Chain A
Amino acid sequence: MADIQIQNLNKRYGSFQALHDMSLDVKDGEFIVFVGPSGCGKSTALKILAGLEAASTGSIIIGGEDVTELAPAKRDIAMVFQNYALYPHLTVRQNIGFGLMMRGTDKKQINQRVERAAQALEISDLLERRPKALSGGQRQRVALGRAIVREPQVFLMDEPLSNLDAALRVQMRAEITALQRRIGVTTIYVTHDQTEAMTMADRIVIMRKGVVQQIGSPDALFNRPANMFVAGFIGSPAMNFLRGKVQRDDRGLFADAGGLRLPVVEAAASYLGKTVICGIRPESLDLARGDAPALEITPTLVESLGTEAYVHFKLPGQQVATAVAGEHEHQPLGNGTLIARLYDVGTPLSGGTIRLGLKPQASVHLFDPATEQAIS
């Protein structure tokens, strides 16, 4: 177990810069998630950490030792791959024990440790099978077993859950988190799924186009996104962005977004009279009560999920379309659509107009329209 320092890491493929000056300090035992759409450099960073690719410049220090030039075998790390990369010609037992065997551990001890790991992952009865005879979830467990049995300094996981179906993914997510907490090995986990990042990480490193956007706890990223990309990436459904003019009246500073009065932080005072981008999470919207200032909208689509409903609507001229980012980053589609996430709506919503207002405690995130950085 060890801490990790990543210092000014750069990776260039010809003229393409896959990783731009990445620096990160990971504390011993921390669970770090690299998240971002594909092509953001998260997997490249992980491969460089593993020693599977060379850094162009910069260095990596694991447990106080500079490993930048070391072969993967000498870094005392374990890795779980997206496709599990189980050795098809070996049994589960041999797969899990392979790393120990390569390090010259004696047979008896290998067996003991393999069986202990298998027990912990509840795959003891699969030990004599070959990977071909396993289900996806079982393969996933074997891959985890292969990592934990070595008791390495660092776990590296490259989208380990993306090949599982949704239900299993939720279950394995919890199991991996619990396992990591229990054995306390420093872990770096790569994913494109913000839900995984939010639920598993101690700290999240969110990346885009090779550049780290923000590093922080899930709460920090959700509540204080550093820029529009982070704000739009974290949270589902994604944050709505509206244009608003900063104004001041007797009740204080606010942004006027198409009839909606959005209270804003004092830091926005320098934007007085100018247009800013206001980020409002779908959860922050609610049906307006009485005669409070509200948005008059006509839903284009209402998705009802039982206890909640997603109301899609458009505000021409007011809304700001941003790149939609999940696994892949898409270009903004036309004007896109805004979403309100409403709970416990009694009456049907389709047809006719509804009035949306801001929830009392909801916060509004402000962004500079030019730099897309948060105003705070």
Chain B
Amino acid sequence: MKRKLWQSILLYATVIVACAVVLFPVYWMVVTSLQPPGSLRAYPPHFLPPDPQWQTYIRLFIETDILRWMANSAIVAVTATGISMVAAVLAGYSLSRYQTKSSENVGLFILMSKMLPATMLIIPLFGIMRSLGLMGSLWSLIFAHATAIVPFATWMLKGYFDSIPNELEQAAQVDGCTPWGALFRVILPVAAPGLAATSLYGFVLSWADYLFARTFLANNADSWTVNLGIATFKGEYQTDWNLVMAASLLAALPIMIAYLFLQRFLVGGMTAGAGK
């Protein structure tokens, strides 16, 4: 089926308009961050910065703790993703391979736990973290994030493991592997794209969190994550939109980059467990 010319033009036009609309806020972040405050009040607004200013970023690094916030976010996201991946890989594998009636129930239980509203859990968690002395510590966030990631990650990974034939680890076991050996030497390398997609999901979830950070870390500015930092910072620098946008862009950058690299794995991974 060959497309007619007008159909092609229409298609490309639609794609370009759709992408432009969707990406406009990101573009606007970049444009704003490169203009001095005065230029931002121009009417009509500048859609291309007349005189791009990189000083905004230098000012950001000097005047704010953005680098530390980003480092905190990175520590939390990496550790939480790591912990949750260990738990989710094992659980997903178990659900995929050792499916019995009771393990199906466990699977359901894991998914049900995704239904719990965070705004409810945070009330007792606030008390728990305080009594454990973890208030203001990154560990409080790490545990909360890890647990928040586990249910969906388990589900995604189960889907991936389901797509790998059973015979592969049976062959590995006959070849001399223990069940552990078969998992680590054969199944995990084969499931690498799934692991990448799931890790990305976990990383994005952790990096984007605001609720837990705000509740657990608010009183210790040293441990602020980037979202918490920016939200507070926006309150202080109300009108310096160039500075706020520069900080926002930086905060979004790591996961945007990770997303651009791993996006192709994500498409398969999200629904790996969804339909048969």
Q: Which of A121-153 contact B (CB under 8 A)?
A: 146, 150
Contact A79:B177 (CB < 8 A) given known A87-B190, A89-B189, A89-B190: no
Q: Report the separation of the CA atoms of residues A103 and B170 in the bound assembly, to the nearest whole angstrom.
A: 16
CB distance from B255 to the nearest CB of A (A): 28
Which B residues lie within 8 Å of A79 (CB)?
A: 170-171, 174
CB distance from B163 to the nearest CB of A (A): 12
CB distance from B245 to the nearest CB of A (A): 44
Contact A102:B176 (CB < 8 A) given known A87-B186, A87-B190: yes
In the assembled complex, B52 has its CB within 8 A of some CB on chain A: no
Q: Report the separation of the CA atoms of residues A87 and B169 in the bound assembly, to the nearest whole angstrom.
A: 9
Q: Closest residue of chain A to B188, judged by CB?
A: A89
Q: Which of A96-133 contact B (CB under 8 A)?
A: 98-99, 102-103
Count residues of A near B (Cβ-Cβ below 8 Å).
Answer: 25
Q: Report the separation of the CA atoms of residues A77 and B168 in the bound assembly, to the nearest whole angstrom.
A: 16
Residue of B177, B189, B190 touching A73 (CB-CB under 8 A) = B177
Residue of B171, B181, B186, B192 touching A81 (CB-CB under 8 A) = B171
In the assembled complex, B167 has its CB within 8 A of some CB on chain A: yes
CB distance from A159 to the nearest CB of B (A): 11
In the assembled complex, A259 has its CB within 8 A of some CB on chain B: no
- Identify which of B167, B168, B175, B190 gathers the most chain A CB atoms within 10 Å of its CB: B175
Q: Which of A297-319 contact B (CB under 8 A)?
A: none
Q: Closest residue of chain B to A72, judged by CB?
A: B173
In the assembled complex, A71 has its CB within 8 A of some CB on chain B: yes
In the assembled complex, A269 has its CB within 8 A of some CB on chain B: no
Q: Which of B160-203 contact A (CB under 8 A)?
A: 165, 167-168, 170-178, 181, 186, 189-190, 192
Q: Closest residue of chain B to A73, judged by CB?
A: B176
In the assembled complex, A50 has its CB within 8 A of some CB on chain B: yes
CB distance from B181 to the nearest CB of A (A): 7
Count residues of B near A (Cβ-Cβ below 8 Å).
Answer: 17
Which A residues lie within 8 Å of B174 (CB)?
A: 50-52, 72-73, 75, 77-79, 99, 156
**Contact residues of A with B, CB < 8 Å?**
50-52, 71-73, 75, 77-79, 81-83, 85-89, 98-99, 102-103, 146, 150, 156
Q: Give 18 CB contacts A-B under 8 Å.
A: A51-B173, A71-B173, A73-B173, A73-B174, A73-B175, A73-B176, A73-B178, A81-B167, A81-B170, A85-B167, A85-B170, A85-B171, A86-B171, A87-B168, A89-B186, A102-B177, A146-B171, A146-B175
Q: Closest residue of chain A to B171, judged by CB?
A: A85
Are the C-beta atoms of A83 and B176 separated by less than 8 Å?
no
Which A residues lie within 8 Å of B177 (CB)?
A: 73, 102
CB distance from A42 to the nearest CB of B (A): 16
Q: Report the separation of the CA atoms of residues A78 and B176 in the bound assembly, to the nearest whole angstrom.
A: 10
Which B residues lie within 8 Å of A150 (CB)?
A: 175
Residue of B168, B176, B186, B192 touching A103 (CB-CB under 8 A) = B176
Q: Closest residue of chain A to B169, judged by CB?
A: A85
Q: Report the separation of the CA atoms of residues A99 and B173 in the bound assembly, to the nearest whole angstrom.
A: 9
Q: Report the separation of the CA atoms of residues A85 and B174 in the bound assembly, to the nearest whole angstrom.
A: 11
Are the C-beta atoms of B178 and A71 separated by less than 8 Å?
yes
Are the C-beta atoms of B175 and A83 separated by less than 8 Å?
no
The 10 A-B residue pairs with the shortest CB-CB distance, nearest first, are A102-B176, A99-B175, A85-B167, A85-B171, A72-B173, A81-B167, A89-B189, A79-B174, A73-B176, A72-B174
CB distance from B137 to the nearest CB of A (A): 39
CB distance from A100 to the nearest CB of B (A): 8
Residue of A75, A78, A87 touching B172 (CB-CB under 8 A) = A87
Query: Can you add 20 more A-B contacts, CB < 8 Å, to A51-B173, A52-B174, A73-B175?
Result: A50-B170, A51-B174, A52-B173, A73-B173, A73-B176, A73-B178, A77-B174, A78-B174, A78-B175, A79-B171, A79-B174, A81-B171, A83-B165, A85-B168, A87-B190, A89-B186, A89-B190, A99-B175, A102-B176, A102-B177
Contact A52:B172 (CB < 8 A) given known A87-B186, A89-B189: no
CB distance from A91 to the nearest CB of B (A): 13
Which A residues lie within 8 Å of B192 (CB)?
A: 89
Q: Closest residue of chain A to B179, judged by CB?
A: A71
Q: Report the separation of the CA atoms of residues A85 and B171 in the bound assembly, to the nearest whole angstrom.
A: 7
CB distance from A279 to the nearest CB of B (A): 38
Are the C-beta atoms of B173 and A85 separated by less than 8 Å?
no
